[in-house]
Amino acid sequence: MPELPEVETIARQLSLVLKKQKLVDLTIHDSKLRVFSSETLRNKQLLQVKRSGKEVLLVFADDLYLRIHLRMTGRLVWIAGRKRIDSSSILLRKGSTDLRPKSIRAEFFFNNGTLFFEDVRRFGTFKLDFESIQGNWIDPTTEQFTVEVLTKLVENSKQQIKTWLLRQDKLVGIGNIYASEILFRSGVHPHRSAGSLKKEEIKNVHSATKYILHKAIKLNGTTFSDYRDSEGETGAFQKFLAVYNREDEKCRRCKNKVICIRQGQRSTYFCARCQE
């Protein structure tokens, strides 16, 4: 579900409310997520909340790093309040928070509120690290991401550029929605092999990536169906999608029909006239 802009939104919002709070208790309902002892984190101080690739990173005192990957339908929803609320009483949901009690997989009770991890499809993962580990990838929102670096990364790759953009070992953070959007903005056909891109095209992919991701972050991400931020609110970037989920609709640039193809069992949307 969430790609870089969505995870960035959640991490930023949680950072505001959770920084320096104490994790009083936690309950993990889904056994798939019980990959560490609750005792390890109980009563630990949360120092900060960050994004690492597509993961939300909760940094606790004593060098404890909880990595939460939301995968397709994971949500982290914050409900402020001193009183402990659990998944049964959340049925009395209030305000705009759109929690699905059935899908609550874990609850983190802080002294100023509760953080719910909700995940319909149960693809989300927890991992507890005892040191700060940074992947060997480039984050496209950092200054490390330059045209030269991108050129090096795609060099010699025979993989189709759409599928290449989805890999997380080179460039981290792009998912199925933004991959289509980036290629449309770049004017590059999704079938093109990554290594065959010309200088100009790499430049376009580079600037389109930065533009799209930054704009999506500014708009709190894209809500296509499940995505909600930590306050249970939808994103707003879906209003600006040029091709994703717009099959048979008119291309916003040339009025041709947007088409949808399958690449590695994922749909890719593009305009055959605008993307050579």
Partner DNA sequence: ATTATATCCTGATCGC
Partner DNA sequence: TGCGATCAGGATATAA
With beta carbons less than 8 A apart as the criterion, state whether 221 and 237 touch.
Answer: yes
Quote the least distance from Cβ 167 to DNA, whole Å.
Answer: 8
CA atoms within 13 A of residue 110's CA, in its CB half-sphere: 22
With beta carbons less than 8 A apart as the criterion, state whether 24 and 37 touch.
Answer: no
Question: 97: which DSSP letter?
Answer: -
CB atoms within 10 A of CB 78: 22
229 phi, psi to nearest 5 deg: -85, -170
d(Cα 187, Cα 144) in Å, to the nearest integer?
24
Select which of 6, 51, 54, 233 is catalytic.
Answer: 54
Would residue 3 show up in a list of annotated catalytic residues for this protein? yes
Quote the least distance from Cβ 234 to DNA, whole Å.
Answer: 8
Quote the least distance from Cβ 276 to DNA, whole Å.
Answer: 20
Would residue 84 show up in a list of annotated catalytic residues for this protein? no
Q: Which is nearer to DNA, 23 or 242 (CB)?
A: 242
In order of 19, 25, 120, 155, 236, the CA distances from 227 in angstroms are 23, 26, 11, 34, 11
Residues that bind DNA (CB under 7 A): 1-3, 6, 32, 53-54, 69, 71-72, 102-103, 120-123, 157-160, 163, 166, 168, 175-177, 221-227, 264-267
Quote the least distance from Cβ 166 to DNA, whole Å.
Answer: 6
Cβ partners under 8 Å of residue 238, min gap 6: 222, 223, 224
Q: Which is nearer to DNA, 48 or 193 (CB)?
A: 193
Quote the least distance from Cβ 157 to DNA, whole Å.
Answer: 5
Cβ partners under 8 Å of residue 272, min gap 6: 189, 256, 259
Q: Which is nearer to DNA, 87 or 222 (CB)?
A: 222
Sort 230 into a burial class: Cβ within 10 Å, 0-12 / 13-18 / 19+.
buried
Would residue 54 show up in a list of annotated catalytic residues for this protein? yes
Quote the least distance from Cβ 134 to DNA, whole Å.
Answer: 14
Q: Which is nearer to DNA, 122 or 210 (CB)?
A: 122
Q: Which is nearer to DNA, 22 or 69 (CB)?
A: 69
Would residue 2 show up in a list of annotated catalytic residues for this protein? yes
The three-point CA angle 58-64-68 to 5° equals 35
Q: Which is nearer to DNA, 42 or 195 (CB)?
A: 195
| b/e per residue 20-31 (b: at least 16 CB within 10 A) | ebbbeebebeee
Question: Which residues are annotated as catalytic?
Answer: 2-3, 54, 266
